[in-house]
Amino acid sequence: MKKLIAGNWKMNGNKEDALKLVGSIGAALFVEPELKKSCDILVCPPYLYLPVIKDLCTEQGVLMGAQDCSNHENGAFTGDIAADMITDFGAKYVILGHSERRQHHKESDEMISSKVSAAHKAGLIAIVCVGETEEDRERDKQDAIVKNQLKKALPDSVDQNNTVIAYEPVWAIGTGKTAKPSDVEKMHALVREQLKDQIDGGERIRLLYGGSMKPDNAKELLNTKNVDGGLIGGASLKAEDFIAIASAA
Ligand code: PGA
């Protein structure tokens, strides 16, 4: 399976930074054109920068995604952004159910499921995030938690072409702590089995690992069984690191 290397910029940078970052990614891809053959490169900036980087991304063969979308098609939802508005700017992907949305915006699996449906209706590929907290892991509850998230957060519209799953242990996000490759292998095997049970074609859905992926641990993580790419936060803000991770894929 072709790997997907996705950068989640979160709420960082300004317009100039966005242009510079994509420019540097493009320059690196120009020097190493074979990278695009081995992996798809995706950047997910804050919404406002999608139109800013659109042309540059198209020229350089870099895919674009958003970090969230509304579960409604349109209407009186002040401050929200509809999935159709995201596709309007050439984005193909949307991250949904990120642990920061679950934590700071109290998003439930049911809410995430309805956002995934809205994304699919608009023709977007949903990157659905699942993962246990530190407390869940201390209580050895990670398997049950992740299975339950998959059962509840994935609507019937999910198939291998419109959905990617990102396993992101919450305690590894932005902390510098990475899950051990043996744990990543176990969790990805569990996710794969659950997807096969739940969805026709579940064996072909891409599974990303996320949580403090860096150039120095990327090779091991990306070569772990059932890891089809990475969702990268901090390290995606530096073109050099982001490209080094893609090179490890
Ligand atoms: P991180 O973030 O790479 O900074 O840990 C990953 C994510 O939040 O998707």
pLDDT tens-digit series, residues 42-86: 999 999 999 999 999 999 999 999 999 999 999 999 999 999 999
Share of the chain above pLDDT 90, in %: 96
Whole-number pLDDT of residue 50: 98
Is 187 a pocket residue for ligand 1 (Cβ < 6 Å)?
Answer: no
Q: Whose CA is nearest to atom 1 of ligand 1?
A: 233
Which letter does DSSP use for residue 172 in this model?
Answer: G
CA Rg, the chain, in Å? 17
Residue whose entry in the numeric block shows the structure tokens 């997807």: 195
**6 C-beta closer than 6 A to ligand 1:** no
Closest among 99, 102, 96, 21 to 62, alpha carbons compared? 21
The per-residue pLDDT for range 144-164, each reduced to its tens digit, is 999 999 999 999 999 999 999
Q: How far away, in angstroms, is 203 Cα from ligand 1 center?
A: 25
The dihedral sign for the CA sequence 99, 113, 162, 14 = negative
pLDDT (mean) for 8-17: 98
> Which of the four pLDDT bands, split at 50, 70 and 90, describes residue 122?
very high
pTM of whole model > 0.95? Answer: yes
Q: Inform me whether the pLDDT recorded for 235 exceeds 90.
A: yes
Nearest of 172, 232, 60, 174 to residue 222 by alpha carbon:
232
User: Looking at the predicted structure, is the pLDDT value of residue 183 above 90?
Assistant: yes
208 lines ligand 1 (CB under 6 A): no
What percent of the chain is modeled with pLDDT above 70? 100
202 lines ligand 1 (CB under 6 A): no
Q: Which residues are catalytic?
A: 98, 168
Whole-number pLDDT of residue 167? 98
Answer yes or no: is pLDDT of 225 > 90. Answer: yes
**Residue 67 C-beta-side C-alpha neighbours within 13 Å:** 22
**pLDDT tens digits along 196-215:** 999 999 999 999 999 999 99
| Closest ligand 1 atom to 175 CA | 5
Determine the pLDDT at residue 176: 87
Q: Is the shortest distance between the CB of 65 and ligand 1 below 6 Å?
A: no
Contact 18, 64 (CB under 8 A): no
Index of the ligand 1 atom closest to the CA of residue 232: 3
Report the candidate in 6, 64, 59, 65 with the shortest Cα–Cα distance to residue 30: 59
Span 77-110, pLDDT tens digits: 999 999 999 999 999 999 999 999 999 999 999 9
pLDDT of residue 178: 86
Q: What is the pLDDT of residue 177?
A: 87
